[in-house]
Amino acid sequence: MEPISLLLLLIAGGFAAGAVIALVTWDMVDSWISARALRGGYAEILSERLTTGDYHVVAGVFSPYGVRTATQVWDAHSIDPELARRLRTSRGVIRVQT
């Protein structure tokens, strides 16, 4: 799935009701990806700051052929400095080879 599709998922997920956690950390996201990694695949992480000030973080794991195999959404009051730095330096879309 390309970043545009993930962005649509990110936006659509913003309307879903759910619990908001206090903090999303890079270690939390990285652990989730590692548990679902596919050889030769990749993962992408996006984040959106909502009008409430909270964050909506979406991660997707993809096969080597671009087929999404897992998705996770975190709604949180904040993100840790490492996740914020990685999002900033990657222009909003983090791609990790698995």
Name the residue type at position 7: L
Q: How does pLDDT run across 58-87, given as a tens digit for each residue?
A: 999 999 999 999 999 999 999 999 999 999
Confidence of residue 20 (pLDDT cuts 50, 70, 90): confident
Interhelix angle 81-89/26-36, nearest 10 degrees: 70
Q: How does pLDDT run across 33-51, given as a tens digit for each residue?
A: 999 999 999 999 999 999 9
Cα separation, 49 vs 38, whole angstroms: 29
Is pLDDT at 2 greater than 90 in this prediction?
no
Cα separation, 34 vs 98, whole angstroms: 7
Q: What angle do CA 79, 82, 83 make, to 5 degrees?
A: 50
Q: Give residues with Cβ within 8 angstroms of 62, minimum separation 6.
A: 1, 38, 41, 42, 43, 44, 68, 69
Look over the chain and give the mean of its residue pLDDT values, rounded to a whole number. 87
